[in-house]
Structure 1
Amino acid sequence: MKTAPTLLKALVLSTLLGSGLALADAPADTALHTLQQDWAMANYQHQGKDRESALAKVSDEARQFAGQYPDSAEIKVWEAISLSTYAGAKGGLGALGLVKDAKAILEDVIAHDPDTLDGSAFTTLGSLYYQVPGWPIGFGNSKKAAVYLQEALKRNPSGIDPNYFYADYMLDQGKKEEARKYFEKALKAPDRPGRELADQGRRQEIADKLKKLGQ
């Protein structure tokens, strides 16, 4: 079981954002792209307290978009990603409410729109399950993490995020060679159009993990 100080090691789930807060009259796909770009900038171009502050703004933006487009499963997934990443930056017991909200959102998407964004809800929920502390502090559960992360890989076997988070989960479980295998696969994942900053940031994270593994 993880303790509160190590709550959510770094919920860099994976996967995006750019500039500006909510666009009042933007269609859902434009709002999604804005959210993805803003997330990527906040997550990868800021450090320390500046990163936490930037991610807080993105999580507010995500909630605004989710309210504006309640039928968009894609924005719901990104709301959960934004809340989770902010929780990872915030840390401590105060982050638990954020990840519980994210969990509820992801469970709803999985129940009604499981194929959204190539199954990204499975990736994000799986990452929460292995990074959040277990009972009685939180809902963390390594067995559930494996189930969701493996399902994410089935739905998107070559994706950078499903492979990255499964590798990170393997590393968390002490399975270094399995972790190396999936980190290397993630590193070879195809580029995502419009997600250049997120891909760059994720690949740097992968390179850092592989370096620690001795490669």
Structure 2
Amino acid sequence: MTLKKRLSSLFIAGITSASLVSPVSASSSELLELQQQWATVNYQLDGDAQLSAFSELIEQAKALVEQSGNSAESLTWLAISQSSTASAKGGLGALDFAESAKENLERAIDKEETVLDGTALTVLAALYHKVPGWPVSFGSDKKAEKLFKRALEVNPHGMDQNFFYAEYLFDEGEYKEAQAFLTRAQNAPEKANRPLADKKRREEIAALQEKLNTKA
């Protein structure tokens, strides 16, 4: 499986959070604007146009990181932009973006482990699960599982947290457990500020349910 295929299921619908209120100088409106721009790029563009737009988003996110004094929220969104670029780019050229995303997520978690209701923990867990392991990259299912469980402690009813852990369990062949967490994702409340992301996540949830139905 190519790196692009492994990463695409993580970022096709995006990991976002309803809580974008930051205690530092990067305003919630700026973060929300970045999120909305990301959704447009991710869902309505492809090919070179998408890669170019993601590059612009990375630069905007870097500016927010600097403006906010390295806030955990801005670092998380920088990492999401970098990870999405890795997914769009694919191949070995994606690894540098994935590595940068990992570093920024770790910085965000060091500052505030529960940032954006466990979003940074979830994104980092999914990265560890999706990218290749040593010697190609940093992938590790052991680290992924630990991070997934911590993210669920932070946000036990989150759609993203439950979906990605269910996907992880499915990949590990733990179908009964995967179903339990997928059901939680199905029952998770939607968020008013991310209608497109929630729609796409629901589609992914339905697709995973179909796969689980074949394992019953």
Q: Which amino acid aligns with 1:15?
A: I
Residue pairs, 1:150-189, within 5 angstroms: 150-189=149-188
Residues 51 and 187 of structure 1: CA distance in aligned 2, closer, same or farther (over 3 Å): farther
Within 5 Å, which residues of 2 pair with 1:109-124? 109-124=108-123
Change (3 A) 1:4 1:195: closer
| Residue 108 (structure 1) aligns with | 107
Cα drift, residue 68 of structure 1: 2.8
CA distance in 2, matches of 1:49, 1:175: 38
Partner of 1:87: 86
- TM-superposed deviation, 1:138: 0.2
Query: CA shift at 1:16, angstroms?
Result: 4.8
- More moved, 122-131 vs 104-113: 104-113
8 Å CA contact 1:8–1:132 kept in 2: the answer is yes
Distance, in Å, in 2 between the alignment partners of 1:61 and 1:173 is: 37
What SS does structure 1 have at the residue aligned with 2:137? coil
Matched residue SS, 2:132: coil
Deviations 1:111-149 (A, max 9, x none): 121121112111011001000100000000000000000
Residue type of the alignment partner of 2:143: K
Q: Which deviations, in whole Å up to 9, do the C-alpha atoms of 1:16-38 show, x marking residues without a partner? A: 59xxxxxxxx9521110011111
* Secondary structure of the structure 2 residue equivalent to 1:137: coil
1:196 equivalent in structure 2: 195
Name the counterpart of 2:211.
Answer: 212
Check whether the contact 2:76–2:105 (CA below 8 A) recurs between aligned residues: yes
**Conservation of the 8 A alpha-carbon contact between 1:63 and 1:79:** yes
Query: What one-letter code is carried by the residue in structure 1 that aligns with 2:136?
Result: I
Q: Name the aligned partner's letter for residue 169 of structure 2.
A: M
Alpha-carbon distance between aligned partners in 2 of 1:136 and 1:104, rounded to the nearest angstrom: 18
In 1, Cα distance between the equivalents of 2:100 and 2:121?
Answer: 15
The RMSD of aligned alpha carbons is 2.4
Residue aligning to 2:22 = none
1:54–1:124: structure 2 CA closer, same or farther, 3 Å change rule? same
Give the structure 2 partner of residue 143 of structure 1. Answer: 142
For the 8 Å contact 1:3–1:133, the answer to whether it is kept is no
* CA pair 211-60 structure 1, distance change in 2 beyond 3 A: farther
Alpha-carbon offset, residue 201 of structure 1:
1.4
1:23 maps to which residue?
A: none
Q: Which sections of structure 2, spanning at least 5 residues, go unmatched? A: 18-24
Partner of 1:125: 124
The one-letter code matched in structure 2 to 1:197 is L
CA positional deviation for 1:105 = 0.9
Q: Indicate how the Cα distance of structure 1 residues 69 and 197 shifts in structure 2: closer, same or farther if over 3 A, else same.
A: same
1:36 and 2:35 aligned: yes
Equivalent position of 1:134 in the other structure? 133
Q: What is the Cα deviation at residue 172 of structure 1?
A: 1.8
> Structure 2 vs 1, CA of residues 111 and 10 (structure 1 numbering), >3 Å: closer, same or farther?
same
Q: Is the 8 A contact 1:159 1:186 kept in 2?
A: yes
| Counterpart amino acid of residue 177 in structure 1 | K
TM-score between both structures, scaled by the size of structure 1: 0.85
SS in 2 for 1:133: coil
